[in-house]
Amino acid sequence: MRWLVTGAGGMLGHDTVQELAGRGEDVTGLDRAALDITEPGAVRDAFDAHRPDVVVNCAAWTAVDDAETDEARALRVNGDGPRLLARACAARGARLIHVSTDYVFSGETRATPYPEDHPPAPRTAYGRTKLAGERAVLEELPGAAVVLRTAWLYGAHGRNFVRTMLELEARRDTVDVVDDQRGQPTWSADVAARVAALGATSAHGVLHATSSGEASWYELAREVFRLAGADPDRVRPTDSRSFPRPAPRPAYSALGHARWREAGLAPPRDWRSALYEALPHIRKEMSQ
């Protein structure tokens, strides 16, 4: 199969290209400079040049707070762009794996993971624009599109929470981290492996690509410190009021994984085992 990965300059896009290439797949990765998914002509030219069988859309507006004041631009990238990709896939008989987010849910008054079919109720502009993208690809490409929701991503490439904690551990005596937001820390390389595995299936619809288990940001930070050989008690708990943001963060955004078995694949592994494996890769990248 020929694979085309959009948003290849980002953390997940980079890891997806690397994962597919490592499996011997014919893969092309295009960053935003090479392909602006909001431009119909650019999308058409990319499809003509690369003739993909599977498209993985990692391109997105991910500036959650900025979307609150510029929702129209965020919608162009997160909603209109995926629709253009889906239409191009439909015209050429290609499949589409579209990456989405936990922000399509409200993140309020819940204590168990959201199943894949739970009604979305975004509270932020970012969440609304990502939900628009989900609906667009499922409308344009029924039966041949996968919406892959993920969350709390970290990895070796690009800025992310785990990398920030490692940097702060080396510079500060203590670090204050919120303990009133719970989710699923997820290694981007694990999501990339999920994407690659989906290529051999006929799966379609919504799947959740997050690690199993759950933690608060505070608990994640303590585990990062522990694995780095530092005292976890140097991480101090606080609450979200200490870090006010334009866009409210979900208090609870763990996602359920029931549909993986339907696709013939095992559910994702626990976040702690993934973090243990990921940390050496992140530290190696930071040292270069």
Residue positions annotated with a catalytic role:
126
**Which residue type does 212 have?**
S
Angle between helices 188-198 and 11-22 (to 10 degrees): 50
Backbone angles phi and psi of 220, in degrees to 5 = -65, -45
Rg (CA), the chain: 18
Tokens of 63: 């500036």
* Distance (Å) of CA 60 to CA 5, 76, 98, 234: 12, 10, 10, 35
Backbone angles phi and psi of 176, in degrees to 5 = -95, 130
* Distance (Å) of CA 27 to CA 21, 159, 231: 6, 25, 42
Q: Rounded to an integer, what distance in angstroms lies between the CA atom of residue 87 and that of residue 9? A: 23
Under a CB-based contact definition with an 8 Å cutoff, are residues 264 and 201 in contact?
Answer: yes
CB atoms within 10 A of CB 232: 15
Label residues 144-177 b or e (16+ Cβ within 10 Å = b): bbbbbbbbbbbbbbbebbbbebbebbeeeeebeb
* Distance (Å) of CA 32 to CA 39, 78, 171, 192, 232: 11, 13, 33, 19, 39
